Amino acid sequence: MLQRLQDIGGRIFMNKLSKAFEKGKAFIPFVTAGDPDLETTEKVILAMAEVGADLIEIGIPFSDPVAEGLVIQKADERALASGTTTDKIFAMVKSIRTKTDIPLAFMTYINPIFVYGSERFIKNSKECGIDALIVPDLPFEEKDELSEICKANDVRLISLVAPTSHERITTIAKEAEGFVYVVSSLGVTGVRSEIKTDIGEMVKLIKQAKDIPCAVGFGISTPEQAANMAKLSDGAIVGSAVVRIIEKYGKDSVMPVADYVKEMADAVHNV
């Protein structure tokens, strides 16, 4: 297994991100690392991989997550309170990588990366088997902060587009790598009863600028919503709805999360 996953040198992993979109529509769940503790997070991630997730976003908790709604804010608080640090998360991902070859992305804010040392952070990410990095407070204008280091280390720095991006979509998409994260709604992360943005139009603009997969996130919680978003794009990203289950079940989250992710992944794969 390890032999197959690893390149020459024994430590460097091939980037697996494109695998997420190879079989059709992708289901992409998110989990905050260390909520309620890293042992549970590892089990949850492996279970999500097992039941059909195509790419998993691992949130590195931050004290002040300005793009998050209350559900993920609370998860970050729980994770930090349980003693989770960036180094411990690297160790967890390293362990996960010996057990699955599912594509993995880190989602965190620019400060934990920058203060850790951007180069050191990205090198460590690569070495433990991370394929992509999503940084919600690093817009196009500031991506030079990480883009060269990511390129040098074969980690995809994911670009986000929002309902307010308008003419910026083309500029952003042209330089996007891996996939484009389409933010479905205004505001912060969190479950929404309805998504009003014209996702189809945003995806069209992205694809006109670059042939790249687009995955939609923010506000998705039901299989119907996920399927609808997957119809309009290449995949659906779900965070708060997963985290809500973990908030409810704590260390016993593995089964309920697996059940939920299976239902969601099936809905997306059947599109």
Partner 1 sequence: MSKGKFGVHGGQYIPETLMNAVIELEEAYNKYKNDPEFNAELEKLNREYTGRPSLLYYAEHMTKDLGGAKIYLKREDLNHTGSHKINNVIGQMLLAKRMGKTRVIAETGAGQHGVATATVAALMGMECEIYMGETDTERQALNVYRMELLGAKVHPVTSGTKTLKDAVNETLREWTARIEDTHYVLGSVMGPHPFPTIVRDFQSVISKEIKSQILEKEGRLPDVVLACVGGGSNAMGAFYNFIEDKDVRLIGCEAAGRGVDTGLTAATIAKGTLGIFHGMKSYFCQDEFGQIAPVYSISAGLDYPGIGPEHAHLHDIGRAEYVPVTDDEAVDAFEYLSRIEGIIPAIESAHAVAYAKKLAPTLGKDKIMVINISGRGDKDVAAIARYRGKDIHE
Residues near partner 1 (CB under 8 A):
62-64, 66-67, 69-70, 73, 80, 85-87, 109-116, 136-142, 144-145, 160-166, 168, 172, 183, 186-188
State how far the Cα of 149 lies from the Cα of 121, in Å rounded to an integer: 10
State how far the Cα of 33 lies from the Cα of 48, in Å rounded to an integer: 14
Dihedral, CA of residue 129, residue 110, residue 190 and residue 199, to nearest 10: -80
Beta carbon nearer to partner 1, 114 or 249: 114
Beta carbon nearer to partner 1, 87 or 198: 87
Beta carbon nearer to partner 1, 153 or 165: 165
Name the minimum Å distance from CB 177 to partner 1: 16
Beta carbon nearer to partner 1, 26 or 162: 162
Beta carbon nearer to partner 1, 111 or 208: 111
HSE-up of residue 222 (Cα within 13 Å, Cβ side): 7
Burial class (CB in 10 A: 0-12, 13-18, 19+), 154: middle
State how far the Cα of 208 lies from the Cα of 115, in Å rounded to an integer: 37
Name the minimum Å distance from CB 183 to partner 1: 6
Helices and strands: H and E segment counts in the chain: 12, 8
Name the minimum Å distance from CB 124 to partner 1: 12
Name the minimum Å distance from CB 27 to partner 1: 23
Name the minimum Å distance from CB 236 to partner 1: 19
